[in-house]
C-alpha cells in the first residue's frame, strides 16, 4: 500500500493531525477546504480507518491516527532536513575533502591551503595525495574531488579552471659545467644525463617529443616520483632536469640551482584545476575549490603568482 501512497497525501495527514481542523489545514497547504476533504477521504480508504472524527469544531484522531502521527513526525522531520537549503557554512562543514597534485605543491603550497582550511573550515579533514595521470579517468568514481595538474588542453568530460601557462627550462646545480652558459645547444644539453620526476603529472614529455622530431633523445639516468628527491640528486651531480619555469624560478631562490632556456621549441604547459561535473553545484566543493584557487593565485610558489610578478 505505501509504495502507492502519494507523499502529498501523507503531508496532508501530517498537517491535519497537527491542526485538527480542515480550514486551517487548507490554509497551511495552500489548497481549498474541499481538496483537504477529498484527501482525507482517500486517506481513510488507504488506511481503512476513520483517522479523524469530528467533535464540534475539532477533528479528534483515532488510535490508529495517533500511531501514524508519531511516525509522520519522524518522517517529515527527516524530510525537512533532506530538503533544507540553508546557506553553506564552512565553519560547520564536517567531511573529508580530497585533493591531488604534485609533491612540489604539497611541499610549498599545501601549507597555505591547510592554514586557510584550518581557520575557515576547521572541521574538514583535508586529504592530499600525489596525482598520477591515470587518475584522470577515475575522477567520477575515485576518491579525488579536486586535482591540480598540467595538461596540454582541457580534458573532455571534466570540469576545469585554467590557472596558468608555463614553459620548460633546463635546470642544473650551481657550478655545473654549463652554468656559465647564457644559452644551450642541443649537443650540450644531451651531453649530460637527465633526471625525470614521474609523480604529479607530465612535466617533460614536451622536450622528448621535440627531440624525437629531430632524431635525438635524452639519456634518463634517474627517475624518481618526487621533486625533493630529484633536486637532492641534482645538487650532488652533473645531471640536468627539464622542469616548468615557475618551479625552477622559485627553487633557485632557495637552493643552489641555475636554469637556461631549452635549445628547441616546445609548447607551453597549461595548468588546471580539475573535478568531476557531479561537484559543479555542490556548495562545499564550490567553496573548497574557490579557496584553493585563491591560494594558487597569490602563493609565491604558484604558477599564478610567478606569471603576475
d(CA 76, CA 11) in angstroms, rounded, equals: 8
Homologous superfamily assigned to 168-261: Periplasmic binding protein-like II (3.40.190.10)
- The x, y and z cell numbers of residue 215, run together, are 632524431
> Which residues fall within 8 angstroms of residue 266, CB to CB, at 6 or more apart?
167, 168, 206, 207, 209, 210
pLDDT exceeds 80 at position 299: yes
pLDDT at 54: 87
2-83 with 90-165+269-308: one CATH topology?
no
Please tell me the distance from the alpha carbon of residue 267 to that of residue 206, in angstroms, as a whole number.
7
Domain ranges across the chain: 2-83, 90-165+269-308, 168-261
The pLDDT assigned to 1 comes to 43
Instruction: Quote the cell numbers at residue 288.
Output: 573548497
What is the reported pLDDT for 205?
82
pTM for the full model?
Answer: 0.71
Task: Judge contact between 295 and 116, C-beta under 8 A.
Answer: yes
Q: Tens digit of pLDDT for each residue in 26-83?
A: 898 888 989 889 998 998 988 899 988 988 788 888 989 888 888 888 777 777 666 6
Model confidence band, residue 119 (pLDDT cutoffs 50, 70, 90): very high
Greater model confidence, 57 or 287 = 287
How do residues 223-245 score in pLDDT, each as one tens digit? 998 888 999 999 999 999 999 99
Predicted confidence (pLDDT) per residue in 147-159, tens digit: 999 888 888 889 9
With bands split at pLDDT 50, 70 and 90, how would you rate the model's confidence at 186?
very high
The whole-angstrom separation of Cα 65 and Cα 255 is: 77
Comparing CA positions, the residue from 169, 167, 137 lying closest to residue 150 is 167
pLDDT score, position 3: 44
Residue 2 has pLDDT above 70, yes or no: no
Q: Are 100 and 129 in contact (CB under 8 A)?
A: yes
Please give the Cα distance from 233 to 222 (Å, whole number): 9
Smallest CA-to-CA distance from 241 within 254, 228, 253, 130 is with 228
> Considering the chain, what is the average pLDDT of its residues?
89
Task: Reply yes or no on whether the pLDDT at 4 is more than 50.
Answer: no
CA–CA distances in Å: residue 291 to residues 58, 98, 104, 136, 207 = 56, 14, 19, 22, 33
- The β-bridge partners of 171 are 241, 259
Nine cell digits for residue 307: 606569471
- For position 248, what pLDDT does the model report? 93
What is the structure's pLDDT at 309?
Answer: 52
Fold of 90-165+269-308: D-Maltodextrin-Binding Protein; domain 2 (3.40.190)
Domain 2-83 annotated CATH 1.10.10.10? yes
d(CA 274, CA 43): 50
Amino acid at each position: 500500500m505505501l509504495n502507492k501512497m502519494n507523499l502529498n497525501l501523507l503531508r496532508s495527514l501530517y498537517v491535519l493531525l497537527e491542526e485538527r481542523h480542515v480550514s486551517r489545514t487548507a490554509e497551511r497547504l495552500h489548497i481549498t477546504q474541499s481538496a483537504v476533504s477529498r484527501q482525507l477521504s482517500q486517506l481513510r480508504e488507504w488506511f481503512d480507518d476513520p483517522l479523524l472524527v469530528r467533535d464540534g469544531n475539532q477533528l479528534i484522531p483515532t488510535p490508529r491516527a495517533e500511531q501514524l502521527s508519531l511516525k509522520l513526525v519522524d518522517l517529515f522531520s527527516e524530510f525537512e532536513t533532506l530538503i533544507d537549503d540553508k546557506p553553506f557554512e564552512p565553519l560547520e562543514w564536517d567531511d573529508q575533502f580530497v585533493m591531488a597534485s604534485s609533491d612540489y605543491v604539497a611541499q610549498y603550497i599545501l601549507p597555505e591551503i591547510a592554514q586557510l582550511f584550518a581557520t575557515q573550515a576547521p572541521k574538514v579533514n583535508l586529504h592530499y595525495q600525489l596525482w598520477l595521470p591515470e587518475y584522470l579517468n577515475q575522477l567520477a568514481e575515485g576518491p579525488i574531488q579536486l586535482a591540480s595538474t598540467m595538461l596540454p588542453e582541457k580534458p573532455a568530460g571534466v570540469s576545469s579552471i585554467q590557472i596558468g601557462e608555463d614553459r620548460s627550462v633546463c635546470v642544473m646545480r650551481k657550478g655545473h659545467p654549463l652554468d656559465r652558459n647564457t644559452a644551450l645547444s642541443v649537443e650540450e644539453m644531451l651531453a649530460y644525463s637527465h633526471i625525470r620526476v614521474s609523480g604529479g603529472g607530465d612535466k617533460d614529455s614536451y622536450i622528448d617529443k621535440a627531440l624525437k622530431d629531430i632524431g635525438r633523445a635524452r639519456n634518463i639516468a634517474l627517475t624518481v616520483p618526487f621533486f625533493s628527491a630529484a633536486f637532492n640528486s641534482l645538487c650532488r651531480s652533473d645531471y640536468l632536469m627539464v622542469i616548468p619555469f615557475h618551479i625552477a624560478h622559485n627553487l633557485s631562490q632557495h637552493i643552489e640551482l641555475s636554469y637556461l632556456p631549452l635549445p628547441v621549441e616546445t609548447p607551453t604547459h597549461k595548468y588546471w584545476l580539475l573535478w568531476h561535473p557531479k561537484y559543479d553545484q555542490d556548495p562545499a566543493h564550490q567553496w573548497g575549490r574557490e579557496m584553493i584557487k585563491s591560494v594558487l593565485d597569490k602563493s609565491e610558489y604558484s604558477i599564478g603568482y610567478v606569471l603576475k610578478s
